[in-house]
Chains A and B, each alone.
Chain A
Amino acid sequence: MKIGVVRFPGSCDEVDALQAAERVGDAELLWYADHDLRGADAVIIPGGFSYGDYLRVGAIARFAPVMEEVERFARCGGPVLGICNGFQVLCEAGLLPGALLPNTSLRFLCRQVGVTVASVDTAWTRECTPGERLSIPVKHTTGRYYAPEPVLDELEANGQLVFRYAPGENPNGSARDIAGVSNKGGNVVGLMPHPEHAVDALTGSEDGIALFRSVVGAAAALAA
């Protein structure tokens, strides 16, 4: 089991994601300019400021050479997780529905929040229990989840709303308290909170490890 973590110019949390992944299996950084996932069984698009967030968050990274491979991998059912900037990139790439808009405060916000697991039918949450509350930090300026109402209804009906901010803890004005969503297949998940920063009680919380454990099981199931 190997998790690949993409590194773009301007990625910031790729080493954190790598180390979090190493707690559950092998992990390797994937270079943005390579057309190569190096045999990864799951891929993480990490947080940070790829290409300086210039033009529009995630808009340039979405065209990086490695993303062609990520898209192919995702469309074949491979597990892909986008964290924060990675979520934005996956939305830009059309692998996930919706878009991320500037926080209602218009400011960067770094805060530990409560996140409830709304769907356990994804590659990245299958080890969670429905309704489970995780303590995970958010840190972003552009994290307000948006999609048109009919799309939100459809996502909800399909069980594609994977994470919600706990009541009263929505930090950015996201529609319906949405913190993370999946594609229809449940193999591609994106979320604004940072599970890779919540894998050790020493640094605040270990609740985020559940996502990494989940994908190990998902990859095994996929291989079987």
Chain B
Amino acid sequence: MTVLTRHRELGLTDDEYELIIEHMEREPNEVELAVFSLMWSEHCAYKHSKRLLRSLPVEGGKLLLGPGENAGAVSLGGGLACAFKVESHNHPSAVEPFQGAATGVGGILRDVFAVGARPIAILDSLRFGEVERSARSRYLLEQAVAGIGHYGNSIGVATVGGEIYFEDAYEQNCLVNAMCLGLIDENRLMRAAAAGVGNVVLLFGARTGRDGIGGASVLASAELGELDAAKRPTVQIGDPFEEKKLLECSLELLDRDLLVALQDLGAAGLTSSSAEMASKGEVGIDLDVRRVPLREADMEAFEIMISESQERMLCVVEPARVDEVVAVCEKWLVNATAIGEVTATRRLRVFDGDALVGDMPVTALVDECPVYELDPVAPSVSMYPAPPAAIGALDPGDTLLALLRSANLASRRWAFEQYDCLVGSRTVRRPESADAAVLALPGGGAIAVSIDGNGRRVACDPYRGAVEAVLECSANLACVGAEPLGLTNCLNFGNPEKPHIAWQLIRAVAGLADACRALSIPVVGGNVSLYNEAGAGPIFPTPVVGLVGELPRAERSGRLGFVQEGDVVAIISAGWAPAATGSELAKLRGEAPFGDLPQADLGELRTLHAAVRQGVRAGALRSVHDVAEGGLAVALAECCLAGGLGARVDVGPLGPSGEALLFGEGPGAFVVSCDAGSLRAFGGAAVQIGTVGGDALAIDGVLSVPVSELSAAHAGGLASLLD
């Protein structure tokens, strides 16, 4: 293969290659071409999304660290900060689900401890094809869940929440997004900028091997094809024990103030970590690849530069502190090797022993990748085929049971029991006990976190679907009494070079931006995963939103289940207009995801969420649950299931009891239970509809189903599809 076509193999266009020659003032050699191909990949350079991302609000409130650092951070008050980020590992998981998901968790953990924070919680957002029909999707689900558990459990970070949905659109291209949160003293947040000419660049952690070579360009920046087995060597292999030592070692190094800068090695390995550190610090870096400890002795220079071997960190150290750094690494049984130094050249120079094998301007690598305009065209018909109808005309009771049994709404117990949700002794609300996970903080307060993104609804209406993802997380936080502090997002889309995908992406980002502005939530950073499509077409556009908030009194955290016989059941709502479009029921009925979603008045909903939050904080609401997938009837059933108590309600005061009211979806409503007197504070927003008690969910004139039957449908759902 000649150099003339080599760049295409590596995912660069002819024009991009010309531009590289311009910046280099000569043809790049093999090492340089490999480095450029990674730095200019979609995964590293965001070349199709950078312009859009600039529209997201990235300031204000309690933001401490915004986009561009290893992880974002917000202030929790009292000198404490929370660092967090969500990231995708979609294509590796589609090729090798156990290791793909495991290393997805490993990567996001490193992002968080790279800023100095101790990781305290993991959440995950997963999408697969229809497990009822697809053996491959069952395999992917089982392996991905096992991989997440393997890594998170072994490293001792609690997996406290997440979401899993199944749609045909994810059959060939599953999604595995992982989010991590960490805690740190806000004065000790670490940045990744290299500094101090003459300082030592030190690599520590696992040895470097051939695993994951080309992951960022080959896997993360192109569509998946038929021969994906051949890509298996591009998937990294995770070792949580190595990462556990690396985590403790990194935090001790930071605690002892031994480091000038710290950066994790993720996608594009040594290449992107060194280039980005140099870029942020406006310096140059010289590296000698021959000093890198290798797993396989005969690796070439370019392979060492682009390897994505896991569990490695890069740091900058003053020469006088190197011995101390090495001693701490030895204590934790971690390899540490000086591999280079900080220079004033603003060039990334790669040496192989004495030979200079690569010499590139840092700005060209990091900042000069061309950024592309998208060419959006709205589709006039659904881009996705209608799913096969799973149910026909049923009475409302059977419809409710069908929904509770469906893969998307059935209990996630099968999955979350495979995760340690307790380690750290902070978990105040475990999965299925509340709408958001709650983690206690020193001093009596707590943080709450939720992750959400409904691809089917975004497929119907990318703008409103994305708005709903933010609203859903905000509503989840309100349910436990938490106020949002910051948001991270992962934009999972198809090929943005295709006009309909470009349209989805533009509309969805506009929705995220508008919702964040209206709710005054800064975006602290995130990740973009494009080219999620294969022969059968694109995935549903899936912006996944992770939202972190705080509440002053952990013991007042809201619960979702009915707890006390005789409590009144009420709906607290604003502008709630549930409709069939894009709903779980529409899917079960075999309707294609297409058409406008209900409009949301963001100002009104912000007020509503604040009122609910206040009610929870005041201890006035004994249970709170947001009405979401499956609509009002499913929300009521979930309240019964979580509390083990029935309820008798009359939905008459809410409007005609048709399917739209019972099973329609749209933002803006909560099911609460409380003393009758507690409702007064909500004025006209609250409508009393019934009473907690008995052993059935009874909706007057509509349905009556014993809680035991609801439970059998819901609890058995997912596990029965798998075993």
Residues of A at under 8 Å CB distance from B?
9-13, 15-16, 19-20, 48-49, 51-54, 107-111, 137, 139, 194, 196-197, 199-200, 202-204
Contact = CB atoms under 8 A, between A and B. Distances in A.
A202 B427 CA distance: 8
Nearest to B444: A202
Contact of B149 (A53, A108, A196, A204): A108
B425 A49 contact: no
Given A107-B418, A111-B417, A13 B423 contact: yes
A123 B47 CA distance: 64
* Max chain A C-beta neighbours (<10 A), residue from B245, B421, B423, B440: B423
Contacts, number: 85
A13 B242 CA distance: 17
Given A12-B156, A110-B420, 12 more contacts: A9-B244, A13-B156, A49-B156, A49-B241, A49-B244, A53-B154, A53-B241, A54-B241, A108-B153, A108-B418, A109-B417, A204-B422
Given A13-B156, A107-B146, A196 B417 contact: no
A49 B240 contact: yes
Contacts of A49: 153-154, 156, 240-241, 244
* Max chain B C-beta neighbours (<10 A), residue from A15, A196, A202: A202
B314 interface: no
B245 A9 contact: yes
B427 A203 contact: yes
B153 A16 contact: no
A110 B430 CA distance: 11
Nearest to B334: A9
Contacts of B150: 108
Contacts of A203: 422, 425-428, 440
B430 A204 contact: yes
A9 B332 contact: yes
9 contacts: A11-B156, A12-B153, A13-B156, A107-B146, A108-B420, A109-B417, A109-B418, A110-B417, A203-B428
A69 B555 CA distance: 41
B420 A9 contact: no
Interface of B: 146, 149-150, 153-156, 239-242, 244-245, 332-333, 416-428, 430, 440, 554-555
A133 to B, nearest CB: 19
A32 to B, nearest CB: 10
Contact of B422 (A10, A19, A52, A139): A139
A49 B150 CA distance: 11
A202 B555 contact: yes
A110 B426 contact: no
A52 B241 contact: yes
A111 to B, nearest CB: 6
A197 B421 contact: no
Nearest to A48: B156
Nearest to A14: B156
* Max chain A C-beta neighbours (<10 A), residue from B242, B417, B420, B440: B420
Contacts of A107: 146, 418
Nearest to B248: A9
A53 to B, nearest CB: 7
* Max chain B C-beta neighbours (<10 A), residue from A111, A137, A139: A139
Q: Which 7 A-B pairs have the closest CB atoms?
A: A52-B241, A12-B156, A49-B154, A16-B425, A139-B420, A197-B422, A108-B418
Nearest to A19: B425
B241 A10 contact: yes
Contacts of A200: 425
A52 B153 contact: no
Contact of B425 (A51, A52, A53, A197): A197
A66 to B, nearest CB: 14
Contacts of B418: 107-110
A11 B416 CA distance: 22
